[in-house]
Amino acid sequence: MGRVSLYDEKAKSERVFWIRLIAILFLIVFVVNIIVMNFWESSITATITVKEMTSNHKFIYITTEDGDELVLDNRNAPFRLKFDSAEIYGDLEVGSTYEFTTIGIRSQFLGLYENIIGYTLVEDAKNASDNTDMIKEMNEKKEQGFTVVISVGEGILDAEDDFTFTEEIFSEYSVMVDYDNKSIILTEK
């Protein structure tokens, strides 16, 4: 049997210390993340300018009363027992103003967005009169090659090439942008 040197025991003790410290720090970051992303609640009053659905997220682009443009995510939140993100997404109308209750924080570095957990209608899109920015944005997307699809009752129609977004379109249809399929979907209100 060889002798165990004091140096070997000290090195082993230091390795165990660093492994424990890293494990504890990881656990702290994990717990803080759960708390911040699920229980850090705030309220925002804003008008929806665009709804975007990708394969993983349902984004809601909004403009606040102060003119700030923000992006909110709408995903299920199991820790808050929120499992109705699809219904919320379908209920929200472009051009309408809502008071949103959100959880989480916005971090560009980490790609995090505040998540909608509740909303209250403040002003209906049918009563809102100025959709100028939305009309301009949707017409620009059409020029960029986005297909306009109109959902009427049970049927789906492709819009004609000379289709142009107008104020009447926004009063009669809900607008959704599907970036995965490069399409703009209009659904009768």
Provide mean pLDDT across the span 162-166.
76
What is the mean pLDDT of the segment spanning 3-31? Answer: 84
Rounded to the nearest integer, the mean pLDDT of the chain is 83
Summarize the confidence of residues 97-112 as an average pLDDT.
90
Instruction: Give the Cα separation of 120 and 51 in Å (integer).
Output: 17
Report domain extents, the chain.
1-39, 40-123, 132-188
- 20-56 pLDDT, tens digit each: 999 999 999 888 888 878 888 999 999 999 898 887 7
CA dist 174 and 171 (Å) reads 8
Determine the topology of domain 40-123 in CATH: OB fold (Dihydrolipoamide Acetyltransferase, E2P) (2.40.50)
